[in-house]
Amino acid sequence: MAKGFAMISTNFPLAIIFLIGILIPIIAMRRSNEVCENSIQLENDCGRYCFRIVKPVLDHTRVLQRQVEGCNMNEKSEFISKFEQIERLLLEKFDAFEEAMTNMVESLSDMRPFQKIGAKYYFIENQLPLSWFDAAERCRLMGAHLASPQNKFEYDALKANLHKTYYWLDINSLAKNGEFTSATTGEKAKFLQWQRGEPNNVKDNEKCVILPGWPGNHMNDEDCKKTFYFVCEKGRHMLKAH
């Protein structure tokens, strides 16, 4: 008996380990079943909850759909007509805004090479000499015209910004010999300050007026086909016209 008890005592730890090894899988299986059951229940509960939340939205959507379908053709046509009117108005406003912005950008771009001298804006060409006719065309393409001083103040202010060379003005006698007019207005030139001995119309071939940049030198008539530098003029009022 003592011997048998001693054997049981000796093998007791092994028996405990054996029992634990059997019980752990059984407990794990039961817990797993409980988790699965709880998960299924939770999923069902969530589904019912979500459906309760979404159902009013679905019901309201169906009501709106029935209302839209119930609108008569006159109401639909009236709505579409009003929408199209609003759309046209917005497009017109946008087009007007786009045009205004384009004009503003073009105006700023046009003014870039011009410098303000007195109350006017001038582009003084010091790189490319042209004939009087080509110079007039070049100014026109810039939205301007050859310079035409209207009084002594404008004349002196412009001369003070010129290099020591010659520049075409818009004054000429092409229409009538000896009668100097402005190509811009077609009227008699409002201001003339000739160099001594000028105009002399050498060989009856000097019909266009140049302005020397040297101090103390003044207007001179020259052959319109000769090439000189030139001055383009642009007033503020010409920005909108261009």
CATH of the domain at 168: 3.10.100.10
2 within a domain of the structure (yes/no): no
Q: Which helix (H) or strand (E) holds 203?
A: none
Q: How many residues make up the chain in this entry?
A: 242
What is the rounded distance in angstroms from the CA atom of residue 168 to the CA atom of residue 122? 13
3-state class (DSSP) for residue 188: strand
96 within a domain of the structure (yes/no): yes
pLDDT for the residue 235: 72
**Whether 88 and 180 share a structural domain:** no
pLDDT for the residue 85: 72
List all residues 6 or more positions away from 82 whose beta carbon is below 8 Å from its beta carbon.
none
**Whether 45 and 87 share a structural domain:** no
**Whether 121 and 29 share a structural domain:** no
Identity of the residue numbered 218: H
CA atoms within 13 A on the CB side of 150: 8
- Domain hosting 205: range is 114-241
In this prediction, the residues of the chain whose per-residue pLDDT falls under 50 are 1-46, 237-242
Nearest CA to 222 among 239, 192, 202?
Answer: 202
- Strand intervals (E) in 5-147: 115-117, 120-130, 145-146
pLDDT for the residue 13: 44
pLDDT for the residue 100: 75
pLDDT for the residue 58: 59
Beta bridge partners of 229: 167
What is the rounded distance in angstroms from the CA atom of residue 54 to the CA atom of residue 64? 16
11 within a domain of the structure (yes/no): no
**Whether 91 and 174 share a structural domain:** no
Nearest CA to 149 among 117, 116, 192?
Answer: 192
Count of structural domains within the chain = 3
Give this prediction's pTM: 0.54
pLDDT for the residue 11: 44
Strands 220-222 and 208-212 come out as antiparallel
pLDDT for the residue 241: 43
pLDDT for the residue 56: 66
Nearest CA to 168 among 113, 211, 219?
Answer: 211
**Whether 189 and 220 share a structural domain:** yes
12 within a domain of the structure (yes/no): no
